[in-house]
Amino acid sequence: MVEEGVRGIGPWLVGLPVRLATWLAAVPGRVVRWILELPRRTWQGLLGAKRVLFGSEPAPDEALFSLALLVTIGAVVVTFLVRAEFTPYPLAALGVLVTLGWAAYQARTAKILTVFATAGTVLTLVFITYFLFEKAWTPITEFGLDLLAIPVNAEGDTRWFFWLDAILPQGEGQTGWDPHNDNPSLLAAAWGTVLVTVIATLVAGPLGVLGALFIAEIASDGLREVIKPAVEVLAGIPSIVYGFIGFAVLNSFVQDAFRDPGASFLIAGLVVGVMALPTVVSVAEDAITAVPKSMRDGSIAMGATEWQTMKSIAVPAAISGISAAVILGIGRAIGETMAVAAIMAGGTTFAMPLYDVFDQSVTLTSRIAISYGSASSTTLEVLFVAGVMLFVIVAGASVLAQYIERRVSQDLRGEP
């Protein structure tokens, strides 16, 4: 199966320019069709909004109530954005209308509230995205590539960093992080994030998938009822507790076993990997359990063993969910703050050499955590750049998970 996948990469890469050219050639036609269909789509959208917000054939009193509820919700949003001190007044009116509507027009009230709860979620994401990029735009335009300046070594020479020294500028000091003196490099923190995430993925990925397979395919019903809740309880432990346990337990172990000072990327990655395990196990187990039992029964009826059925039927059929579970675990590892800050709070240097997992430094999240409290306005804006980098990485991971899921679904359906 792996060899077939490797052989399939070549034709896919060869055909990529042709597919890209075909897609670009079809763009004008798609734009024209979209413009021609815009009036019809707009009319259908208005009819759908009217049906959701007011009903197909609402009574006059129901239509009046729906209008009053919509105006009140709009007033809450407008006052919150323009004059926040006036928000409690329309919010109180909204509470009264919801109470009355729940008694007289329960279905209509519930439908309107669910619509605006969903719209509020989307708007919250839009506001967060705009706020992050708006705050980060000033340092991006002011410093440019200096935000990724390569630190120097102990001799003052530019550090080797994957042959990028010809593109990226040279920073000052062994971290490049001194925004007060116009040295705001986030490269050391970004590389620390990569190291911790890779180690955490190597821990959470294999162990999480194997744990999910055991719970879904091997464990008895009684054992499953004990293990799965126990795994989910692990997700509720505060991250600072994980960080403290990792520092107190793993730190002494690494010091004794590897003759290392401890507080390293290895310890942080192991702790974050354990923290990501519940996410990987829970999501992957749900995906494996969702595989139809008829597929397993058919495999066994054809003479396959339970291991062959698990390996060749259950895992391939649930690979989209398993991939999503691993990527969600990676997202948890990338965004972890307190555990990493508790373990490597004193680390400031760039990893020397780059692959030294026993070295210590900061990650993007811990850089934000340990710097924002005493940050000047310039430093705070640079920290928003770190937030944008994390946002883009996690968003990219989510897009990748959706792409993998779609491709696997197409393969399972036999689509090209």
Tens digit of each residue's pLDDT, the chain (416 residues): 434 443 445 565 667 677 788 888 888 888 888 888 888 888 888 888 788 777 777 788 888 888 888 899 889 888 988 888 888 998 999 999 989 888 888 888 888 888 888 888 888 888 888 988 998 898 888 888 888 888 877 676 777 788 887 788 877 777 777 777 777 888 888 888 888 888 888 988 899 989 888 888 888 888 888 888 888 888 778 877 887 787 777 777 777 776 666 677 888 888 888 888 888 888 888 888 888 888 877 888 888 888 888 888 888 888 878 888 888 888 877 877 777 777 776 566 777 778 878 777 888 888 887 777 766 777 888 888 888 988 888 888 777 777 776 766 666 565 55
Is position 197 within any domain? yes
- Looking at residue 12, its pLDDT comes to 59
pLDDT recorded at residue 92 = 92
Q: Round to whole Å and give the CA distance between 272 and 279.
A: 12
255 in any annotated domain: yes
- The model's pTM is 0.75
Let me know whether 200 and 327 are in one domain. yes
Say if residue 209 is in the same domain as residue 131. Answer: no
Domain C-terminal end among 135, 150, 166: 135
Domain assignment of residue 200, yes or no? yes
The residue segments making up the domain with residue 335 are 187-413
DSSP states of 195-242 = HHHHHHHHHHHHHHHHHHHIIIIIS-HHHHHHHHHHHHHHTTS-HHHH
Residue 308 lies in a domain: yes
Q: Are residues 341 and 224 part of one domain? A: yes
CATH code of the domain containing 202: 1.10.3720.10
- 109 and 196 together in one domain: no
Q: What are the two backbone dihedrals, phi and then psi, of residue 178, each rounded to the nearest 5 degrees?
A: -160, 70
Give the chain's domain count: 2
Assess whether 275 and 381 both reside in one domain.
yes
Q: What is the pLDDT of residue 2?
A: 37
Handedness of CA 319, 325, 328, 334 (dihedral sign): negative
Report in angstroms the alpha-carbon separations of 27 from 21, 33, 303, 399, 416: 10, 10, 50, 22, 21
Domain assignment present for 238 = yes
Structural domain contains residue 35: no
Bridge partners (DSSP) of residue 184 are 177
- Do 97 and 199 lie in one domain? The reply is no
In this prediction, residue 1 carries a pLDDT of: 40
Say what the pLDDT of residue 167 is: 83
Residues 192 and 92 grouped into a single domain? no
Statement to judge: residues 97 and 213 lie in one domain = no
Same domain, 242 and 365: yes
Q: Determine contact, residues 382/327, Cβ cutoff 8 Å.
A: no
Residues 285 and 363 in one domain: yes
Q: Is residue 320 part of a domain?
A: yes
Residue 174 within any structural domain of the chain: no
* End position of a domain, from candidates 135, 151, 176: 135
